[in-house]
Structure 1
Amino acid sequence: MQLVKAGLCAFGMSGKVFHAPFLKEHPGFFISAIVERSKEESKEKYPEATICRSVEEMLQHADVELVIINTPVQTHYEYAKKALEAGKNIIVEKPFTVNVEEAEELVKLAEEKGLFLSVYQNRRFDRDFQQVKKVIHEGKLGNIKEAEIRFDRFRTAPSGKQHKENPDQVGSGSLHDLGAHLVDQAIQYFGYPEKLFADVFSMKGSEFANDYFEILLFYKNDLRVRLKSSVFTKEDHYAYKFHGDRGSFLQERTDNQEAELVAGAIPAYGKEWMQPLKEADGILNYLNENSETERIFTSSEAGNYMDYYQEIYEHIVFGYPLPSPGKEVIQNMKIIDASLKSSKEEKVIVL
């Protein structure tokens, strides 16, 4: 099996949870280098990886061919550009960049260098997202007229992370953080909208970056899609609500890969490593072919973030399609930028 040598730009939560475990367990990857500016925490689990004290130092390693940009979003453009100029293929954590101009420049540079740029949109591999996608594909809802996708949390106290909560830092706040997932999911389901209206602000106060947003996407055929997130939501049942002219589908946000990984789970390669659900997590209520109402409790199948890295590997080795290419994710950045503009100017933005 061809071995792809990878380097991680950081070993914080993202590196420890979302990237290093999968790179280690996938037989087609080898973690060649990890950036730790002062510590050596990675040595325990990844002793074969060279510890570098800066991204620039890691980029000098000739054997590193794939670089994962998993640093704060405010540094994505700088490090991604340096990696591409060093001749490395790159994976950029979501959100892609702080604005669409940076995203477009990076995509252009990757194309000029003949390198690939993928954005780590891991929520495409969540069980709940995939279950909704399956129901839409089955067509039991008919023509979908209204949809709502939420990603709520109950985090009323500040985290202390300046790159996420300082309103003076471009790219901080929930819109770039969780909104990057919701916008991506909406585009995956329905494509690019015609226009939008957004409300983005901080419930914790103006001294903090936005922690609440609501985006209304307008599509052709009178479809309306609402994306919403709040950090003051202690309980809310269904994260996905889809209504069509033949029925409705409600789906809970039940994927717990992140929680399992944080707790120390090892993601197995080539097989499911998540346990099946013990109870249903969705409701499908629709008119069947005889126009009779059927109300069914549904259970989603386990998601697997390993599938993302499998697709990356297959792209490198076999030339298969690249997952979430940067050129595609530019659309996400356009919607995020337009949402900020809409909220500030209090008007509908034509895309």
Structure 2
Amino acid sequence: GRTMAEVDLNVGLIGFGFAGQTFHAPLIRATPGLRLAAVGSSDAARVAAALGESVVVHPTRDLPTAPDIDIVVIATPNEFHFPLALAALKAGRHVVVDKPFALNAEEASTLVEAAAAAGRVLSVFHNRRWDSDFLTLAKLLRDGTVGRPVELQSAFDRFRPTVRARWREGAGPGAGLWWDLGPHLVDQAVALFGAPDAISLDAAMLRDGAQSTDWFVATLRYGGAGAPDAAGEEGEGGAGAGAGGTPARSPMRVVLRASVLS
């Protein structure tokens, strides 16, 4: 088989909207060992204008099985992540899926199993793991500079009072701010502290004409009932007040928020 030392890996990018054109195509082209060989898009003229005639354009549904493609990168509307990733894995391609990885746990598990069966790499694109503020915070926590954390608040604030005609703000599966910015915020929290013991979500549609979530607050709880706390001991009590009225301990909380009216 081929190795990166012998030849660049051919990448097929599915989707050439904002994410595909702004993030994925430039990163693929700037990465040694990768060659952007093909794009799956319904707008061949737009792809040619941005990337030149050397990049082959396929219909979106055909790119997972296109010949001579080693890696498929999926940057489509969220509802198509699962079927396209599954098709690419079954065709023997390595796959990178833009966040969110899938729309439910069943889809995610199916993709993981398909990657294992095919012996292929399956990864999620989480570019905000490399933001300088996040890397600085991770280093401060790793070095013990801030002591034992008990609460972290992280937010994305935007001022976009008018609902725009685009799939991210529509009513379809995977639309809305929770699916758009929630994966970034949750992934950063999990990268810092691991999986939480519990999560609660308050989400709303606040703008006139909103068709999907445009505001949310999510609270991730660590060290709750029955879970190890920072000292390695188990929390007391149950959900809410436990036996004898003892509340469940929650020594750390992560509060994640996003809004388009801030």
> Could you say which TM-score interval applies, normalised by the shorter chain?
0.7 to 0.9
Shift of 1:114: 0.8
- The root-mean-square deviation of aligned C-alpha atoms, in Å, is 1.5
* 1:132 correspondence with 2:161: no
Cα gap change, 1:135 to 1:120, in 2 (>3 Å): same
1: distance between equivalents of 2:179 and 2:97? 14
1: distance between equivalents of 2:114 and 2:85? 10
Aligned counterpart in structure 1 of residue 161 of structure 2, from 156, 160, 166: 156
2: distance between equivalents of 1:13 and 1:202? 23
User: Is the partner of 2:44 in helix, strand or coil?
Assistant: coil
Question: 1:73 maps to what in 2?
Answer: 78
**What is the 5 A alignment of 1:69-218?**
69-161=74-166, 163-167=167-171, 169-205=172-208, 207-218=210-221
Task: Give the TM-score taking structure 2 as reference length.
Answer: 0.83
2: distance between equivalents of 1:145 and 1:118? 31
Residue 168 of structure 2 aligns with an amino acid whose one-letter code is K
CA offsets 1:48-81 (integer angstroms, 9 cap, x no match): 211112331x233321010011100011111111
* 1:50 correspondence with 2:56: yes
1: distance between equivalents of 2:149 and 2:193? 10
User: Is the partner of 1:150 in helix, strand or coil?
Assistant: strand
2: distance between equivalents of 1:34 and 1:164? 21
1: distance between equivalents of 2:59 and 2:29? 21
CA offsets 1:271-313 (integer angstroms, 9 cap, x no match): xxxxxxxxxxxxxxxxxxxxxxxxxxxxxxxxxxxxxxxxxxx
Unaligned regions of 5+ residues in structure 2, if any? 224-228, 230-250
Question: 2:33 maps to what in 1?
Answer: 28
1: distance between equivalents of 2:32 and 2:253? 43
Q: Aligned pairs, how many?
A: 230
Contact 1:38/1:53, CA 8 A, preserved across alignment = no
Question: 1:224 maps to what in 2?
Answer: 253
Cα gap change, 1:226 to 1:133, in 2 (>3 Å): same
Task: Give the TM-score taking structure 1 as reference length.
Answer: 0.63
CA offsets 1:133-172 (integer angstroms, 9 cap, x no match): 11111211111111101111111111211x32233x2221
